[in-house]
Chains A and B, each alone.
Chain A
Amino acid sequence: QKEVEQNSGPLSVPEGAIASLNCTYSDRGSQSFFWYRQYSGKSPELIMSIYSNGDKEDGRFTAQLNKASQYVSLLIRDSQPSDSATYLCAVAGLTFGQGTILTVHP
């Protein structure tokens, strides 16, 4: 059974800091990886996709993929209170982790 593991948190960081969110997965053959943001009471919103080993940057967000170690991470630079949400990792598109709650405090 394919599994995706995330630390449920909550992860609390001060405004302006770097938030680091991690995800590990069990299916070594997985080829596509995604990060979604979900605000309380809302549906998930796609923020990043990554397919190759290494880093992918988009604005304040950087996704990192290491297929050999089977982990994918999301870094949020200059964290803002508006970044406070649950961050979901999805592997091979269909399998989601339970999410990590991020709180950015002023």
Chain B
Amino acid sequence: DTGVSQDPRHKITKRGQNVTFRCDPISEHNRLYWYRQTLGQGPEFLTYFQNEAQLEKSRLLSDRFSAERPKGSFSTLEIQRTEQGDSAMYLCASSLAFTYEQYFGPGTRLTVT
């Protein structure tokens, strides 16, 4: 059973550019989560899906952030008009339905210059 995978692992972009990250969950997992983590902090919840439905989105999440999971399998997270404050590790996790026991991918490290 392969784990959660994320692509790319690293992304360097210039301020103002758009970036898109991909997450492939564990195959039998219905739920998929996105988090952002900065140094010395715990993961900050962004949004999560059950199958293709986006069930919850953080109120702290700017309108520049959008996530999709069109066929209930992989998911993409897009950040538009990136800012230096968006520099962080973006983590994806998945779980079975009706549980929050999450398995994390390796993360995508975003650096905005």
A residues contacting B by CB (< 8 A) are 4, 6, 8, 32, 34, 42-46, 49, 88, 90, 92-99
User: Are A43 and B104 touching (Cβ within 8 A)?
Assistant: yes
A94's nearest neighbour on chain B, judged by CB, is B45
- Give 17 CB contacts A-B under 8 Å: A6-B42, A34-B102, A43-B104, A46-B101, A88-B42, A90-B42, A90-B100, A92-B100, A93-B100, A93-B102, A94-B33, A94-B48, A94-B56, A96-B35, A96-B43, A96-B44, A98-B42
CB-nearest residue of chain B to A89? B42
A43, closest chain B residue (CB): B104
Collect the chain A residues with CB atoms within 8 Å of residue B65's CB: none
Question: What residue of chain B has the Cβ atom nearest to residue A4's Cβ?
Answer: B42
- Residues of B near A43 (CB, < 8 A) are 91, 104-107
Q: Which chain A residues border B104 with CB–CB below 8 Å?
A: 43-45
Residues of B close to A95: CB separation below 8 A: 45
**Closest B residue by C-beta to A31:** B100
- B residues within 8 A CB of A32? 99-100
Asked if B85 CB lies within 8 Å of chain A CBs, one says: no
Given A96-B43, A98-B42, A99-B42, A46 and B102 touching (CB < 8 A)?
yes
Residue of A nearest to B31 (CB): A93
User: Which residues of chain A are within 8 angstroms of B48 by Cβ–Cβ distance?
Assistant: 94
